[in-house]
Structure 1
Amino acid sequence: MTKFCITILGCGSAMPTTLHNPPSQLIEMNDKLFMIDCGEGTQLQMRKFKARMSKLHSVFISHLHGDHIFGLPGLLSTLSLLGRTADLNIYAHKEIDFLINPFLTYMGNHISFKINVIPINPHSEEIIFENSSIKIHSFPLNHRIDSNGFLFEEKKSASHIIREMIDYHKIPYHMIYNIKRGDDFITTEGDVIKNETLTVPGTPSKKYAYCSDTAYDPDVVKYIKNVDLLYHEATFAESENKRAEETYHSTASQAATIAKMAEVKKLVIGHFSSRYNELGVLLKEASLIFPETELASEGKIFEL
């Protein structure tokens, strides 16, 4: 089984505090390291939690509010100082050019790698990255400006052939690949050996969904149905419901309601308002609706 884990680098919101860093996460899948959002101080959090900057494959930016992007210039500069040569893809709304272009002008020829800005669609779901083992989707969220969530999906692996069956039926090596992908085996005598007797199922697909920043919006459920882990913002307690509506954020209860509607396996809440020095009230409100809820915290790792 390949590694699939999420490290929380920051789970605060717009107002800086000494308790929480601005939003950022690292997702490790199949020996690739992806970043979601890059708030101020993100590169320091990577150092603190011993993340390997050299492994960073791509950066995904949910929206262009400062608490989600102000860490990018420092991170990009440090990657160059470390001698990175591989391209870095940044998936974001096209308006991020206002930040990237001045940075490139300032750095001139001193940046050691190419930055590719890949625009994401703020209005519909799309697959923005895919290889043989990973699929990454973006989907629209409901916020004051264009905002997207992300779904990281580890594809289901091929079936595993039963070793004893290879010897018993004298299966040629060149046929194993197709059998693992569903073919039956036909012997030299013409007998058909059904695939289900030759194989056991592969590793099921695992999914992680990220929803921040967003108002309470049941429309998101169709994008995140049955995921193994959901990160959903819970900026406010229910007593601040009106404030949540005004700012297009969610309460902890609303995050839990979305998790319940989507029938996810586990919910992690974050993007906490600076008004909360103690997060017990948020956890309690969410857990009453969706018991499988945990609080995000810097350095916490969730393994799927």
Structure 2
Amino acid sequence: MKLTILGCYSATPRTFTNPTSQVLEINNHIFLIDCGEGTQVELRRNRIKFSRIKHIFISHLHGDHFFGLVGLISTFRLLTRDTPLHIYGPKGIKEIITLQLKLSNSWTDYPLHFHELISKDSVVVFEDEKIKVSTIPLQHRVYCNGFLFQEKPGDRKLLMSKVLNYDIDVAYYRSIKKGNDVILDDGTVIANEELTDDPKPVKSYAFCSDTKYDENKIPLIKGVTVLYHESTFLESHQHLCATTGHSSAKDAATIAKKAEVGTLVLGHYSTRYNDIELFKEEAKTIFKNVEIADDGKVFDF
């Protein structure tokens, strides 16, 4: 599981920082999460192939999280893309994007599918045989969702040294890898645990930006491998959190601790601060395993 931070600062882009956008690579999928201004430039800078992006997840309709989307869609068209693109985001995103494409006479030559979200409960928005993606309802000034990316358990590993001790036809190997026991011709039952080893542990990633402190999401993110949680403010500006619908570094760390996550990644910093290391120092007083996002930073989990 690989996370590339394209942008992780709040509000406006600057010459040396970018608004929210990141790429998650998990189990042969590449997911783009949020698409602030400058996203396509950062994709090029980080050598991420445009053609591999098939699913884009937009948390909410504040500009620092989606103003780069129509530009990216248009660039895909100029690059003669022909594969479908799926966009998941709040109701209204289809209207916003299609109006821009209509008035600029820039309709895509590839299938563009919008999946608009309105539920205030967690719902599954994408699923295949390897990955499931669900929403994480967040508390912000507008309708907003985080996203939970979960690997599905793989097949069990055949222990051939054990399997070959029995007269088992190779036609049953697939069934065994799926966790089934084996019944021999004489009726003897061979327990699956004797013939296989556990599959690789599954990984999960929870993206939570933007949101004020809210414990309602804790059951949804309980025990995830990695939690990205916004930390717009330091404790010195805690009084701004409630009115803006944002969190402090301590808020994020408290959620991580209560949810018993593996690693906490902080981001969405207010540009009023000159040293983002302060966010890590503050969070580590509550939760030990803390990382700080920064533009261009890559995490391998």
Give the TM-score category using the shorter length. over 0.9
* 2:158 paired with 1:157: no
* Aligned twin of 2:241: 244
* 2:287 paired with 1:287: no
* 2:68 paired with 1:78: no
* 2:269 paired with 1:272: yes
* Aligned twin of 1:63: 60
1:49 aligned to 43, 46, 49, which one? 46
* Equivalent runs, 1:1-304 vs 2, <5 Å: 4-108=1-105, 111-304=108-301
CA offset at residue 170 of structure 1?
A: 2.4
Structure 2: runs of 5+ lacking an equivalent: none
CA offset at residue 303 of structure 1?
A: 1.9
Between the aligned partners of 1:302 and 1:214, the Cα distance in structure 2 is 23
Between the aligned partners of 2:251 and 2:300, the Cα distance in structure 1 is 24
CA offset at residue 111 of structure 1?
A: 2.1
Q: Which moved more, 1:153-162 or 1:42-51?
A: 153-162
Between the aligned partners of 1:66 and 1:141, the Cα distance in structure 2 is 17
Contact 1:16 1:274 survives alignment (8 Å):
no
Task: Report the secondary structure of 1:12's partner residue.
Answer: coil
Deviations 1:217-255 (A, max 9, x none): 111111110001000000000010111111010000000
- Aligned pair count reads 301
CA offset at residue 203 of structure 1?
A: 1.3
CA offset at residue 19 of structure 1?
A: 3.4
- TM normalised by structure 2 equals 0.97
- TM normalised by structure 1 equals 0.96
Q: Which moved more, 1:291-300 or 1:247-256?
A: 291-300
Task: Report the secondary structure of 1:289's partner residue.
Answer: coil
**Overall identity of the aligned pairs, in %:** 44
CA RMSD of aligned residues (A): 1.3
Structure 1: runs of 5+ lacking an equivalent: none
CA offset at residue 37 of structure 1?
A: 0.4
Supply the AA of the counterpart residue of 2:283. Answer: A
Between the aligned partners of 2:17 and 2:213, the Cα distance in structure 1 is 23
